[in-house]
């Protein structure tokens, strides 16, 4: 039996992001209680955002290499990041969610830790040995989104020689894209 919320759930899942965006904006304008909820979910003060130290410098200091894991249980290393942002506290408002320039994903800035982000610092290229019969002059480029999806084991990262199938080699803080997250985002 279909529950009452099911068609609505499906409609949410199917709606393009910009439509949902417009609906939220309208609710924000027209409905007082919605304004409060939306603000609470999407806006925080600067001191609530966790971003590590000096991450605007773009230095890799806060990242560490991920060993090809013989101990997959890294729980002993997990620690509460209490002193993550020992910067001056600021009550200025800012967006809660941001786009990470390293892993190229959205993240919640209130839950960012030095182990949140997994990424490769270098690019990944098609391994031509893995495409022995592929002549780019007649078959087109090896490096296409379709090939990446269908043959992830044939694409290798320069930083670590791992493939698209394997875990990224670095772990660190998500680093916020301060230059216009919306533009970069693939919808
Ligand atoms: Zn790598
Ligand atoms: Zn990240």
pLDDT tens-digit profile of 147-184? Answer: 999 999 999 999 999 999 999 999 999 999 988 645 55
Ligand approaching nearest to the C-alpha of 171: 2
- Give the integer Cα–Cα distance in Å for 6 and 57: 47
- Which residues are found with C-beta within 5 Å of the ion, ligand 1? 120, 157, 159-160, 169
With cut-offs at 50, 70 and 90, classify the pLDDT of residue 15. Answer: very high
Does position 186 have pLDDT exceeding 60, yes or no?
no
- Using the mean position of ligand 2's atoms as its centre, give its distance from the Cα of residue 115 in Å: 9
The two three-digit tokens of residue 30, written as one number: 């027209």
Ligand approaching nearest to the C-alpha of 114: 2
- Using the mean position of ligand 2's atoms as its centre, give its distance from the Cα of residue 48 in Å: 18
The two three-digit tokens of residue 160, written as one number: 């670590």
Residues 6+ apart with CB under 8 A from 169: 65, 66, 120, 121, 157, 159, 160, 162
Instruction: Specify the pLDDT at position 134.
Output: 82
Q: Quote the DSSP letter at residue 66.
A: P
- Using the mean position of ligand 1's atoms as its centre, give its distance from the Cα of residue 179 in Å: 24
- Using the mean position of ligand 1's atoms as its centre, give its distance from the Cα of residue 160 in Å: 4
Ligand approaching nearest to the C-alpha of 157: 1
Instruction: Specify the pLDDT at position 60.
Output: 45
Q: Quote the DSSP letter at residue 151.
A: -
Share of the chain above pLDDT 70, in %: 76
With cut-offs at 50, 70 and 90, classify the pLDDT of residue 128. Answer: confident
Residue-wise pLDDT tens digits, 49-66:
998 865 444 444 556 776
Does position 38 have pLDDT exceeding 80, yes or no?
yes
Instruction: Specify the pLDDT at position 142.
Output: 87
Does position 77 have pLDDT exceeding 70, yes or no?
no
């Amino acid at each position: 039996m279909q529950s009452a919320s099911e068609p609505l759930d499906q409609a949410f899942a199917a709606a393009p992001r910009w439509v949902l965006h417009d609906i939220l904006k309208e609710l924000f304008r027209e409905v007082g209680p919605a304004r409060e909820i939306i603000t609470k979910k999407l806006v925080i003060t600067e001191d609530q955002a966790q971003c590590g130290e000096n991450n605007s410098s773009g230095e890799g200091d806060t990242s560490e290499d991920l060993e090809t894991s013989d101990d997959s249980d890294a729980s002993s290393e997990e620690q509460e990041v209490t002193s993550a942002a020992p910067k001056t506290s600021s009550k200025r408002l800012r967006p809660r969610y941001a786009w990470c320039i390293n892993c190229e994903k959205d993240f919640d800035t209130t839950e960012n830790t030095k182990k949140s982000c997994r990424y490769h610092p270098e690019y990944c290229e098609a391994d031509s040995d893995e495409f022995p019969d592929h002549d780019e002059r007649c078959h087109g480029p090896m490096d296409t989104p379709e090939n990446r999806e269908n043959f992830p084991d044939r694409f290798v990262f320069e930083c670590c020689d791992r493939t698209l199938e394997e875990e990224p080699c670095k772990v660190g803080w998500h680093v916020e894209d301060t230059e216009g997250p919306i533009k970069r985002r693939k919808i």
